[in-house]
Amino acid sequence: MTGAGGLLGVRPELLGAAVQRFVDTALADLEQLRPLPMALLESLGVLLAEDVVAPGPVPAFDVAAVDGYAVRSHDTLGDAQWADDPSKHQPDVRLHVIGDLTAASWEPATVSAGASYTVTVGTPLPVGADAVVPGEATDGGLANVRIARVPQPGDGIRRRGSTVQAGTVLAPAGTRVTAATIALLASAGVESVLVSPPPRVLVAATGDELVDPSRPGAGASVPGRVVDVDSLGLAAAAREAGAHAHRVGIVPDEDEALRLLVEDHAHRADLLVTTGGTGGGHTDVLRRLFGLDDVVHFETLPLEPPLVVGYGRVGPSRMPVLCLPGDPAGALLGFELVLRPMLRRLAGATTLYRASVLAELTSPLTSRPGVREFRPARVVRSAERGYTATPLPGGEAFLTGFATANALLAVPEAASDVPTGAELPVLLLEGGPE
């Protein structure tokens, strides 16, 4: 680790040995999706699969950097050309205005002795001109213009290639395309890019007790009925991570229903994510079906919230499947620790894990010994104290804390009572630290 309170960067070991082994096994089984070309505007939010280089210089030729008059700087000297220091001379020079040029002008133009052109920003510089006098340094004449300030060669001009030279790497491979990236690439004449396509993810919740939240009265407390929180939360989290996530919905606890789920979607997804049915009980159909012949390997990870997960490949197409617990807290923790790195591997990201920091606790916390607890927290950074973390509700109230958290505290297995002021590693989430 680096100094206290410092940014640690990628910290996979923060997960704990058991979690890390499971994640490493899944990541080793996955390969980056095959890159594909994409129109520039459509590439927003995805990762570049190769360096994007400038096909030509920007600007492509010398252009006016200001609105004014394109001139031959020597013509503006007047009698100052005989002075010891022409730059201090205030000339009274008049030049003919032989035409008006704009950024849309395409016909070649030449500035002859004693002449000028009016130009606007972005106008290709006429042949012979070596400076642009801004309009405020003239009398604004239309047929003839009085030059009130002697320009130096190059004044008021953007030189060819001054912004970008041909062959310059504009955006390296692995860059997530933003609006600014698109604007930069468009300025260099780039029309399309090779990208790592967003992973196609299917999210299904299993359980006869589940009801869709859109169903009338779903939120009411009814024995034998539980609102499907997992598939909504995981689909949203996957989309936030850049994947194309489709919520299949609720799948009943029946062998045939699970088989049909795999068969119907085998060629539509790069990864299937299920929730529920990962325990060892007689009603856990998913574990019984997928666990046959070790097609999916299930493991109980020593964490709080509890995390029983499975990974393997199913169906004739050998579609990867990640099985997460049905408890919403465990499902969301499973996303952060396991699913998100898998999505980033498929997308070709150069870093698979979130960054982490050491943060000083602002209040004490108690953790169950023997397990590594991930507790929602609010992290703040200040010049005086560095990073500080305020623990938020965990345990059964994990969702309440997670909804307002910008980090996850990682409480080691050996810790039980952690006092105020102690430093713990925290995994930074979206929007943190402040």
3-state SS record for the chain: CCCCCCEEEECHHHHCHHHHHHHHHHHHHCCCCCCEEEECHHHCCCEECCCEECCCCECCCCEECCCEEEECHHHHCHHHHHCCCHHHCCCCEEEEEEEECCCCCCCCCECCCCEEEEECCCCECCECCCEEEEHHHECCCCCEEEECCCCCCCCCEECCCCCECCCCEEECCCCECCHHHHHHHHHCCCCEEEEECCCEEEEEEECCCEECCCCCCCCCCCCCCEECCHHHHHHHHHHHCCCEEEEEEEECCCHHHHHHHHHHHCCCCCEEEEECCCCCCCCCHHHHHHCHHHCEEEEEECEECCEEEEEEEECCCCEEEEEECCCHHHHHHHHHHHHHHHHHHHCCCCCCCCEEEEEEECCCEECCCCCEEEEEEEEEEECCCEEEEEECCCHHHHHHHHHHCCEEEEECCCCCEECCCCEEEEEECCCCCC
Mean per-residue pLDDT, 70-74: 95
> Band of the pLDDT at 91, cuts 50, 70, 90?
low
Cβ count near 310 (within 10 Å): 22
> Band of the pLDDT at 12, cuts 50, 70, 90?
low
* pLDDT on residue 10: 44
Would you state the CATH architecture of domain 41-58+172-196?
A: Alpha-Beta Complex (3.90)
* pLDDT of 83 above 60: no
* pLDDT on residue 210: 86
- Comparing 4 with 116, the larger pLDDT belongs to 116
Fold topology of 63-158: Molybdopterin biosynthesis moeA protein; domain 3 (2.170.190)
* pLDDT on residue 257: 84
* pLDDT on residue 7: 41
Domain ranges of the chain: 41-58+172-196, 63-158, 197-346
Q: How far apart are the first and last CA of the chain?
A: 22
* pLDDT of 5 above 60: no
* pLDDT of 121 above 90: yes
Residue 156, by phi and psi: left (phi above 0), alpha (psi -120 to 50) or beta? left
* pLDDT on residue 335: 96
Residue-wise pLDDT tens digits, 210-269:
888 877 665 555 666 788 999 999 999 999 999 999 998 888 888 888 888 888 877 789
What is the residue-averaged pLDDT of the chain? 87
Mean per-residue pLDDT, 357-373: 91
* pLDDT on residue 78: 62
> Band of the pLDDT at 8, cuts 50, 70, 90?
very low
Residue-wise pLDDT tens digits, 165-208:
999 999 999 899 999 999 999 999 999 999 999 999 999 998 88
Q: Are strands 307-314 and 417-418 parallel, antiparallel or unpaired?
A: unpaired
Mean per-residue pLDDT, 401-408: 93
Fold topology of 197-346: Molybdenum Cofactor Biosythetic Enzyme; Chain A (3.40.980)
* pLDDT on residue 383: 87
* pLDDT on residue 286: 78
Q: Are strands 372-382 and 386-391 parallel, antiparallel or unpaired?
A: antiparallel
